[in-house]
Chains A and B, each alone.
Chain A
Amino acid sequence: MTTIYRIERTKEKIMAAAFDEFSEHGFAGTTTKEIARKASVNVVTIFRHFNTKEGLFSAVIEKKTKDLMKAVQLNLEPSEDVVADLTKIGISLHKNMTSNAKMVKLITIEVSKHHPMIWKPIANSYLDSVDALAGYFYNAMKKGLIREINADIAAVMFFSFFYRNMMSYAFRKGDPLYQMDRGSIGKYVSLFVNGFIGDERRYDEKRGKH
């Protein structure tokens, strides 16, 4: 038992080091020697577990895409406070996506050229998020919390805002256009919920004027 546990720990350590190296230097620029050094194992150990550098790379990608699928499970039941809901959803979407930014870049660069199928788990996990969001808007409509809208477009629109930010993190290591934090996500949600064309009088009533 303990031996199996130790072997798994070693494999995990190697894969974690490999992911960092592949993300940083790309497939071609990464050496198993450096991975071994970072994981504090012997190079021979890497080959014993993964056979080749390619084998290690595939194992890393497979594990990371599985993690991604697990991470993108949004539980979205509308409460009375749509703004608060969407702010919470936005924050978790943002956290989720930025934590996967490194892998998205790695896959985009290394694999999409040669193995387009590897995109599938990523694309699917995004489709799941958008589906979950559309479900949220649909339920909020049913409960009469928001007006009649096209829930699918609303979901894509909400998602796109966080997606662009994530891609910017993945490829530029930062977003020059918008700094995401609780406050700024709240500001976006407020724009998303209220829009900018409305009955001025209604706005004034809300603020207690007239």
Chain B
Amino acid sequence: MTKRGESTREKIARAALSVLIERGFKESTISEIARKTRVNEITVFRHFGSKDRLFTEVIGKTIRSRFESLKLDFEPTEDITRDLTEIGLSLAKYLIASANLTRLIMLELDIIPRDLRNYTSNAMYIILTSLENYFVKAMGKGLISKIDPHLAAVAFYSFFYRIMLSYAFRQRDLLFRVDRVSVRRFVILFAYGIQKDEGT
């Protein structure tokens, strides 16, 4: 009984997400979601209460599960560029996967439920804090020179944020191809700067 209820709930959630991404928040209707799930509208309401609550739960869950696959709590090693390449790849993967939802939230910022809006900005703050922690720890270990960890985190994040928005609105990015080799190139530039190395 519970299991059956759960699977209906999951089916509704999956349908809700696909309707939402296709139509946007305003144009999405419970009746279309019900039709897609082959259940009665009443069933949808019984499970989720309202359109707002349905979407808040569905999107929240999606963002949370994607977020869990994001590896950010890196302990700095001697090989800073390798660490940051891994972090960058993981971040890029997460942000590109979230591009659709981000577009949705940006396009309907004024009408979507507040909780929904908060999900993405909370994710951003967690990412920023984790990046900052990495730089603080690396400084503590004497692996990098003294920098403003917040500034470094914002700069690192900004690079991948632009890529994400490019995917959100144009489904691709003309300026940077995300793969291990390119991300590593970016990281080396980020870590070493552009100044001439007088020593060599």
Contact = CB atoms under 8 A, between A and B. Distances in A.
Contact of B162 (A119, A164, A199): A164
Contact of A147 (B158, B174, B195): B195
Nearest to A123: B170
Interface stretch (B11-19, B29-37, B181-189): B181-189
B155 A187 contact: no
B155 A149 contact: no
A76 to B, nearest CB: 14
Given A113-B107, A127-B174, A187-B151, A193 B194 contact: yes
Interface string A109-130: 1001100100100010001001
B176 A188 contact: no
Nearest to A177: B154
A75 B199 CA distance: 32
B165 A167 contact: yes
Interface in B146-200: 147-148, 151-152, 154-155, 157-159, 161-162, 165, 169-170, 174-176, 182, 185-186, 189-199
B157 A164 contact: yes
B109 interface: yes
A195 B182 CA distance: 18
B197 A195 contact: no
A196 B162 contact: no
A119 B81 CA distance: 35
Interface residues of A, number: 49
Contacts of A201: 199
B76 to A, nearest CB: 12
A188 B147 CA distance: 10
Chain A interface, DSSP helix/strand/loop, else mixed: helix
A160 B162 CA distance: 6
B186 A157 contact: yes
A132 to B, nearest CB: 13
A192 interface: yes
Given A119-B170, A196-B145, 7 more contacts: A108-B106, A144-B196, A150-B185, A161-B154, A164-B157, A191-B151, A195-B190
Interface of A: 26, 82, 108-109, 112-113, 116, 119, 123, 127, 130, 137, 140, 144-147, 149-150, 152-154, 156-157, 159-161, 163-165, 167, 171, 177-178, 187-188, 191-203
22 contacts: A109-B109, A112-B107, A112-B169, A123-B170, A127-B175, A146-B196, A150-B189, A152-B175, A153-B186, A156-B159, A157-B189, A160-B162, A163-B158, A164-B162, A187-B148, A188-B151, A191-B152, A193-B193, A195-B190, A195-B191, A197-B191, A198-B192
